[in-house]
């Protein structure tokens, strides 16, 4: 007899740490933009593992790469050279500003590596008194003690103080506030080109360029956290490319391997030079299995028209969302870039997320009242139409409830 969703949830509640407010959905299968639960119900997945499944669920190129590599070599130490890791580093550097890559397992680890690197670089070049990093309010950089210290949200630090000192937070998009925060102790600025968890906030035109100029003026390293918005999510391979502003360091994870866990810190030769043997490491970082999957995912992203589809479908989805926003008084502006889009609401979004899931559409709400849409970059016009029909039904019901 098949195990039901209710049975799986009951078993999980006994032993899994309660770090997530989980929905009553037990995922057992995925294909393309669709997810199935234990009862066989089909869901249109516009959350995509929180912007992880950019190529959809179980993309054939990634699956084949994993299967072949799993039969050959799953893991070996980074004391040795790993061909697929080298290939992946070449792909990332040849398609970005970067010269060198450090591999790890997650976005939080990539951001930890970046924070260690900027401090080490500053210590080597300017002395130990120059260690502060400026980040933005409403930012999100991870869940480790170091990355919650960098995150510009008090909520994620609650109960975990004292956090790591040496961070200042300024309003996102305010270059004057950024300039005023720079002191003799500042060593770097760390920003998301598009704030995902903070409410899908896009950097204003000219802002990233102004930050770059500020960093150059004060000899500061500039870090772009592209964990959520990199790897094609915005319609370009990396989000910084929209503004034609190259950072010194960029962090990646989520979609890098098309589903399997891997993180990366990409850096210029100048910034990376301060990392020498013994300064940092990761046992599993860039292991043969994960880096092989990432090579397949990145090659698919670059060569198979995925970015063009992201641009076209991003514009189509945005237009559909704007039409809905105009129809309902509690719906506000639609913002984002490519296929990371948000709809601001005048009401909490949790009930809308739950109602959409009941009808077979998976989305989520961030910052309390911003519906976030991050479907796979392979999404079709027909799938967007289906998603918007469901969302329209949900919003219409909410509208009736609100009188």
Cα dihedral sign for 190, 194, 200, 203?
positive
What distance in Å separates the CA atoms of residue 91 and residue 307, rounded to the nearest whole number? 16
Task: For 137-175, give the secondary structure using H, E and C.
Answer: ECCCCCCCHHHHHHCECHHHHCCCCCCCCCEEEECCCCH
pLDDT, position 33: 98
Direct distance between the N- and C-terminal alpha carbons of the chain, in angstroms, rounded to an integer: 46
Listed by start position, the domains of the chain span 5-58+305-401, 73-303
| From 168, 254, 320, 344, active-site residue | 254
pLDDT digits (tens, 9 = 90+) for 166-207: 999 999 999 999 999 999 999 999 999 999 999 999 999 999
pLDDT, position 398: 87
pLDDT, position 399: 74
Beta strands in 177-308 (DSSP E): 186-191, 194-195, 201-202, 221-225, 249-252, 263-267
| From 225, 243, 248, 275, active-site residue | 225
* Catalytic residue list contains 129: no
What distance in Å separates the CA atoms of residue 263 and residue 252, rounded to the nearest whole number? 6
* Catalytic residue list contains 254: yes
* Catalytic residue list contains 185: no
pLDDT, position 66: 98
pLDDT, position 1: 66
Q: What's the fold here for domain 73-303?
A: 3.40.640
Q: What's the fold here for domain 5-58+305-401?
A: 3.90.1150
The residue ranges of the chain whose pLDDT is under 50 are none
| From 46, 131, 140, 224, active-site residue | 140
pLDDT digits (tens, 9 = 90+) for 338-372: 999 999 999 999 999 999 999 999 999 999 999 99
Cα dihedral sign for 359, 362, 368, 374?
negative
What distance in Å separates the CA atoms of residue 229 and residue 227, rounded to the nearest whole number? 6
């Amino acid at each position: 007899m098949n195990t039901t969703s209710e049975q799986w949830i009951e078993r999980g509640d006994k032993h899994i740490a309660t770090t997530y407010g989980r929905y009553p959905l037990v995922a057992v299968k995925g294909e393309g933009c669709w997810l199935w639960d234990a009862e066989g119900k089909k869901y249109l997945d516009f959350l995509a593992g929180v912007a992880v499944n950019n190529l959809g669920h179980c993309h054939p190129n990634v699956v084949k790469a994993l299967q072949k590599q799993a039969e050959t070599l799953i893991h070996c130490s980074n004391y040795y050279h790993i061909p697929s890791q080298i290939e992946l580093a070449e792909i990332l550097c040849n398609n970005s500003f970067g010269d060198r890559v450090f591999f790890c397992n997650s976005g939080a680890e990539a951001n930890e590596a970046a924070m260690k690197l900027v401090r080490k670089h500053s210590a080597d070049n300017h002395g130990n008194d120059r260690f502060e990093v400026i980040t933005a309010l409403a930012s999100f950089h991870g869940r480790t003690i170091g990355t919650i210290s960098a995150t510009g949200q008090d909520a994620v630090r609650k109960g975990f103080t004292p956090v790591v000192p040496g961070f200042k937070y300024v309003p996102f998009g305010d270059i004057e506030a950024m300039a005023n925060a720079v002191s003799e102790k500042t060593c770097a600025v760390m920003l998301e080109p598009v704030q995902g968890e903070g409410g899908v906030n896009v950097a204003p035109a000219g802002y990233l360029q102004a930050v770059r100029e500020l960093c150059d003026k004060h000899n500061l390293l500039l870090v772009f956290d592209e964990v959520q918005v990199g790897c094609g999510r915005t319609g370009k391979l990396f989000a910084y490319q929209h503004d034609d502003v190259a950072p010194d360091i960029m962090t990646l994870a989520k979609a890098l391997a098309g589903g399997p866990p891997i993180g990366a810190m990409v850096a210029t030769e100048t910034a990376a030079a301060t990392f020498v043997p013994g300064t940092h490491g990761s046992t599993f970082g860039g292991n043969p299995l994960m880096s092989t999957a990432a090579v397949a995912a990145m090659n698919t992203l670059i060569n198979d028209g995925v970015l063009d589809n992201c641009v076209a479908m991003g514009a189509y989805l945005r237009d559909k969302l704007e039409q809905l926003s105009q129809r309902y008084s509690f719906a506000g502006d639609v913002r984002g870039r490519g296929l990371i889009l948000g709809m601001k609401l005048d009401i909490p979004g949790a009930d809308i997320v739950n109602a959409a899931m009941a009808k077979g559409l998976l989305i989520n709400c961030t910052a309390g009242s911003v519906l976030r849409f991050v479907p796979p970059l392979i999404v079709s016009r027909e799938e967007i139409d289906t998603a918007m029909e469901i969302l329209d039904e949900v919003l219409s019901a909410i509208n009736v409830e609100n009188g």
